[in-house]
Amino acid sequence: MRQIILIIDRLSDLLAKLSALVLGLMTGLILLEIFLWNLFQKTTLIADEYSAYGLAALIFLGCGYTLKEKGHIRIDLILNLLPYRLALFFKFVAGSLSTILLGYITWQLGRMTFSAWHYGSTSGTLTATPLWVPQSLIVIGAAMFTLQMAVETVKLISSSAGISATFDLQPLLERD
């Protein structure tokens, strides 16, 4: 179990770096568009479209890392008023339900992407970009977010059991 958690954590880190790369590429594309327009009254014809794909990709690719680093907005007002064990129970339920919901969302995004690939769907622009390409990055990010949510829920259990965050489940399974 420890190895699985470490692998998922590292994959989240890797996708966060990919997300940062996408942001850099988007910035470069937009700057190129501005440069070309201001100097030559020319356009790339792709800056708007590809920046939109990039924005969707960087959001989803960074979600798992953001969750791992506790960067998502949380409202702890009520949880802080509850006894520790009850708050832990609610966090576990929320994490479990979130994992299930994210799994469903990832599945549906995967179906959408497969459908775009199967039917050869393209964008309605001059580039006719195959839609499965940018959608694939969204599916990868959503899948990583789902896995990271599951890992964070498992880490929650481990912290309540007083063992390290990258723990081995065997001692828990052997307890009465």
Residue 21 maps to a domain: yes
Residue 174 maps to a domain: no
Residue 128 maps to a domain: yes
Residue 175 maps to a domain: no
pLDDT of residue 139: 99
Residue 68 maps to a domain: yes
List pLDDT tens digits, range 90-128.
999 999 999 999 999 999 999 999 999 999 999 999 999
pLDDT of residue 175: 46
| Structural domains of the chain, count | 1
CA distances from 158 to 48, 89, 92, 134, 167 (A): 45, 13, 11, 36, 7
Strand partners, 130: 122
- The CA dihedral of 127, 132, 138, 141, to the nearest 10 degrees, is -130
pLDDT of residue 165: 47
CA distance 69 to 157: 17
Nearest-5° Cα angle at 140, 135 to 143: 125
Mean residue pLDDT across the chain: 91
pLDDT of residue 78: 87
Q: Is the four-CA dihedral 143, 148, 154, 156 of positive or negative sign?
A: negative
Which pTM does this prediction carry? 0.86
- DSSP 8-state assignment for residue 121: -
Domain range for 71 is 2-169
Q: Which residues of the chain have pLDDT under 50?
A: 165-173, 175-176
